[in-house]
Amino acid sequence: MPNTHKGIRGPAIFLAQFIGDQAPFDNLDGIARWAAEQGYQAIQLPTVDSRFIDLRKAAESQTYCDELNARCEKLAL
């Protein structure tokens, strides 16, 4: 996120393999910032942990999805 082009532009990273209980791997802002610092331009959010994205909320709220995009844009992704 965000993706202003058709298709994913990269380099990108699948974050689920890095989820942990210690910063920066314990929340969306921390892990997205870490990924940006590593040079990644796109992330794939892990859906198994609501600390990163709440799928039920995302399905029900475009505002929530827009806020997730804005948070990632702010973190330079």
pTM of the model: 0.77
What sign does the dihedral 56-60-64-69 (CA atoms) show? positive
What was the pLDDT predicted at 1? 46
pLDDT digit string (tens) for the chain, length 77 residues: 454 556 666 788 999 999 999 999 999 999 999 999 999 988 888 898 999 999 999 999 999 999 999 998 888 75
Domain ranges of the chain: 12-74
Q: Given the structure tokens 């709220």, which residue do they identify?
A: 61
The per-residue pLDDT for 5 is: 52
Instruction: Say what angle helices 28-37 and 62-74 make with each other, to 10 degrees.
Output: 40
